[in-house]
Amino acid sequence: MSVVVIAIATDSGVPIFSRKRGNSDTVQFSTIASLHGINMFTKCHNLTMLNTLVDNGKILWKEYCKSVTLIGIATGGLECDLELLLASIHDVMIFCIGKKELETLKNVDQTKRDLRQCYPLIDYLLESLDPNAISSPLPTLVLDLVQSFLCPQAQQLQQALDNYAESVTGRWACLSIHGHLVATSSDFDELNPREARLMLLLAASQDGAPLRETPVYLPHMSPNVAFRAVTCKLLSDVYILVVCGATPPLSQIDEIVLLCWEGYAQVIKEAKLIHPRNFPMSITFEPCVLAILVINIPKRRCVFSRHLHPTQKGRGMSGSHRLDILRTFYITTARDLAPELRIDDQERDYLAGLTETYWCSEYHKCHAQRMRNLLCCVLYTSTVHNHTMRSITNQILQDLSSNKEIYW
């Protein structure tokens, strides 16, 4: 697989950056110029170039802020939502430098330098599309959801986050473990889901720094006025992020962190044990279940696991293969069960009222079912009968809805 994203100044055609993931060659300047030329030619004729298909791939053009054109190229059989990827990268650009600077582009060279701080976050987004990137510190499954895991300690950690945010005069706070959202402050849901996702990416991409502050712009809530995001490392692979004002200084926050969190070390260690299963041990799964993706639709959060049975292997199917199958099933089919997650404006009346769907192949089966605000996608072995598959998925949803250790 290969995915390349190129940013170009719309008016001048000057390349701003190019980032790639996979085995493709670096895109030459002449190719970038040709791709931009195609887009400009259509604009001169009052047309819009949406996308084009190439050998085993797709190219998409998207203009933002009337100043920047993003070009996405996905090849090698990669099943991804290019439009959503480009929208996410545009959010990252605003997140780092603000919408006003992106709209004006008064000095392209300066903007190019400023946008270098975006590269780690953009690279994480691109890497998340690669099912073979098992070693990635941010094992993200899909771009439009915040990847989480469910642990019984979430409520205790939320109380600690509320106390911590109040102590530093902050407003939104979250705690991540292994790049997964585990707990949030009470008002964290005020953020747009894509803003929450950016916060999670920022919290988990601090390269081990014990304490760091970063000015950030919220693409939907505050695209032109920066907030101060303070990230602190509590334990290995455990970070807390809080959005606060100009005070208190970092030296004082360091002391507040110790006061607020010193009594929660054991609670956090117990929460870490949930990973990589990502579900409490009180939730059991049948041996025929190879992987599962559960989505909380209103909160735009998802929980994915391919480690449901510690003593049982995936019957010859690698972990990356299971991830790729389930993600492809969600993107192409299961997402239609939740119109609220739809990112386009296309009418699909024939899907109204649909609550379940499935795939069957020689090697595996997939089944998705929606129950109120939860959408569950399950990867099964190929030997499972369809009626059994439906029964198991329904039972999983029942367990998730009634289990008192489940706290989103």
303-324: average pLDDT = 76
pLDDT in tens, 140-183: 567 888 999 999 999 999 999 999 999 999 989 999 999 899 99
The confidence band for 341, taking pLDDT boundaries of 50, 70 and 90, is: confident
**Residue 38 dihedral angles phi and psi, to the nearest 5°:** -60, -45
Query: What is the rounded CA–CA span in Å between residue 194 and residue 126?
Result: 16
Query: What is the rounded CA–CA span in Å between residue 127 and residue 389?
Result: 32
264-293: average pLDDT = 94
| Higher pLDDT among residues 126 and 357, named by residue | 357
Nearest CA to 178 among 92, 236, 225? Answer: 236
Task: Locate the domains of the chain by residue range.
Answer: 2-133, 151-273, 289-402
Domain 289-402 part of CATH 3.30.450 = yes
Query: What is the rounded CA–CA span in Å between residue 387 and residue 377?
Result: 15
pLDDT recorded at residue 352: 64
Task: Evaluate if residue 116 carries a pLDDT over 50.
Answer: yes
Task: Evaluate if residue 252 carries a pLDDT over 60.
Answer: yes
The confidence band for 220, taking pLDDT boundaries of 50, 70 and 90, is: very high
Mean pLDDT score of the chain, rounded to an integer? Answer: 88
At the top level of CATH, the class of 2-133 is alpha beta
Task: Evaluate if residue 351 carries a pLDDT over 80.
Answer: no
**Residue 279 dihedral angles phi and psi, to the nearest 5°:** -130, 145
pLDDT recorded at residue 340: 86
Q: What is the DSSP letter of 28?
A: P
pTM > 0.95: yes or no: no
Query: What is the rounded CA–CA span in Å between residue 308 and residue 310?
Result: 6
pLDDT recorded at residue 314: 46
- Residue 297 CB: number of other CB atoms within 10 A? 18
Domain 151-273 part of CATH 3.40.50.620 = no
Task: Evaluate if residue 337 carries a pLDDT over 90.
Answer: yes
User: What number of CA atoms fall less than 13 Å from residue 214's CA on the CB side?
Assistant: 23
pLDDT recorded at residue 371: 95
pLDDT in tens, 57-111: 889 999 998 899 999 998 876 556 788 899 999 999 999 999 999 998 888 999 9
Q: What is the DSSP letter of 76?
A: S
259-279: average pLDDT = 94
Which structure tokens are listed for 349?
Answer: 């009346």
Domains 2-133 and 151-273 share a fold: yes
